């Protein structure tokens, strides 16, 4: 019988699935990875800190989505061509991958003395990558692209920084993936709730029969520091600025030793999930900004959590 305290995400019993010891070049962390299925195999783009404290993005492959092998060379390192080099001086972080029907769009954070911006890049084969454009100004992170055009426009979620209110999830639209506008705030942190400090998009939105499933991260400040957890929200299929429900409960919190303690304590942070044909989803998260972990859930359970147990604003 399913226990009342069974978690909605079942952690893989061989977590963590990837650590710095699996990487054949010097890095200190392996975390915050985007994952996608390409030609039946799983491709993971993961962030690693170098020993200078700045980050690069490596690549790993897998047949089953659980056991990954890292390629000998990193996949994205700071650019040496302009205008990207200027804005990637301090490193590249937290990639998301969007499968646009065989072409893969990658969005990642670019750090420099001018702040953090988001770069859009693309690849067809995960052997080479072409940078397309810087698609935000400074002080944006966590851009996730919807995998299809909606009402003839590209759609994204992102998370601008502000000093005035808690950091929130916004939606924007584009005719060409380069020029973005019509922006609107869609999910705010809720006071005295597990995500009260800030929220941000996590995985590329997953299309379900009942709406777009958005796996996001939320942060709560405690006397022991901030705690990063994962939550879910459901966006209307035809108008994703319309929220059908934000689940009241988190779906994952730091519990395993490598989530509770590491490079940054008490962090589970998601940049990617893969929906399988059998109704399950593999959710990938960085544990304590140090290692990569995976777990599975039923997509229907996550959707129900949004619709049947929504938080009250």
- Which of the ranges 168-176, 181-189, 264-272, 295-303 carries the binding residues for ligand BMA, by CB under 6 A? 264-272
* Cβ at position 289, least distance to ligand BMA in Å: 5
Asked if 264 touches ligand BMA (CB under 6 A), the answer is yes
As a residue count, the chain comes to 313
Cross-strand bridge partners of residue 226? 221
Asked if 285 touches ligand BMA (CB under 6 A), the answer is no
Nearer to ligand BMA, 46 or 180 (CB): 46
Asked if 269 touches ligand BMA (CB under 6 A), the answer is yes
Give the x/- contact pattern for ligand BMA in 3-42, rule: CB under 6 A: -----------------------------x----------
Nearer to ligand BMA, 218 or 240 (CB): 218
* Cβ at position 216, least distance to ligand BMA in Å: 13
**The 3-state secondary structure of the chain, one letter per residue:** CCCCCCCCCEECCCCCCECHHHCCCCCCCCEEEEEEEECCEEEEEEEEECCCCCEEEEEEEECCCCCCEECCCCCECCCCCCCHHHHCCCEEEEEEEEEECCEEEEEEEEEECCEEEEEEEEECCCCCCEEEEECCCCCEEEEEECCCCECCEEEEEEEECCCCCCECEEEEEECCCCCCEEEEEEECCCCCCCCCCEEEECCCCEEECCEEEEEEEEEEEECCEEEEEEEEEEECCCCCCCEEEEECCCCECCCCHHHHCCCCCCEEEEEEEEECCCCEEEEEEEECCCEEEEEEEEHHHHHHHHHHCECCC
Asked if 94 touches ligand BMA (CB under 6 A), the answer is yes
* Cβ at position 250, least distance to ligand BMA in Å: 15
Nearer to ligand BMA, 260 or 264 (CB): 264
Instruction: Determine the Cα angle at 164 with ends 231 and 172, to 5°.
Output: 55
Nearer to ligand BMA, 195 or 289 (CB): 289
* Cβ at position 175, least distance to ligand BMA in Å: 30
Among 44, 92, 177, 267, binds ligand BMA (CB under 6 A): 267
Nearer to ligand BMA, 27 or 267 (CB): 267
* Cβ at position 141, least distance to ligand BMA in Å: 7
* Cβ at position 311, least distance to ligand BMA in Å: 22
* Cβ at position 158, least distance to ligand BMA in Å: 14
Contact of 117 with 81, CB cutoff 8 Å: no
170-209 residues near ligand BMA, rule: CB under 6 A? none
| Residue ranges binding ligand BMA (CB under 6 A) | 32, 93-94, 228, 264, 267, 269, 286, 289
């Amino acid at each position: 019988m399913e226990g009342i305290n069974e978690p909605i995400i079942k952690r893989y019993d061989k977590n963590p699935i990837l650590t710095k010891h699996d990487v054949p070049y010097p890095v200190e962390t392996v975390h915050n990875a985007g994952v996608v299925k390409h030609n039946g195999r799983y491709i993971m783009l993961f962030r690693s800190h170098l020993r200078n404290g700045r980050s690069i993005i490596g690549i790993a492959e897998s047949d089953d989505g659980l056991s990954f092998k890292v390629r000998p060379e990193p996949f994205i390192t700071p650019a040496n061509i302009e205008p990207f080099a200027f804005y990637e001086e301090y490193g590249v972080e937290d990639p998301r991958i969007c499968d646009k029907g065989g072409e893969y769009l990658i969005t990642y954070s670019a750090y420099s003395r001018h702040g953090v911006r988001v770069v859009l890049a693309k690849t067809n084969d995960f052997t080479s990558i072409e940078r397309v454009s810087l698609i935000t100004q400074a002080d944006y992170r966590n851009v996730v692209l919807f995998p299809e055009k909606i009402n003839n426009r590209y759609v994204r979620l992102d998370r601008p920084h502000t000093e005035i209110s808690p950091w929130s999830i916004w939606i924007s639209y584009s005719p060409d993936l380069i020029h973005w506008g019509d922006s609107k705030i869609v999910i705010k942190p809720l006071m005295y709730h597990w995500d009260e400090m800030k929220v941000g998009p996590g995985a590329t939105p997953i299309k379900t029969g009942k709406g777009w499933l958005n796996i996001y991260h939320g942060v709560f400040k405690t006397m022991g520091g901030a705690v990063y957890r994962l939550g879910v929200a459901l966006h209307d299929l035809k108008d994703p600025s319309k929220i059908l429900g934000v689940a009241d409960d988190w779906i994952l919190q730091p519990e395993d030793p490598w989530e509770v303690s590491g490079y940054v304590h008490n962090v589970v942070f998601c940049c990617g999930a893969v929906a399988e044909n059998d109704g399950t989803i593999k959710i990938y998260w960085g544990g304590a900004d140090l290692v990569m972990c995976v777990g599975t859930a039923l997509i229907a359970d996550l959707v129900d959590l949004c619709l049947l147990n929504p938080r009250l604003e």
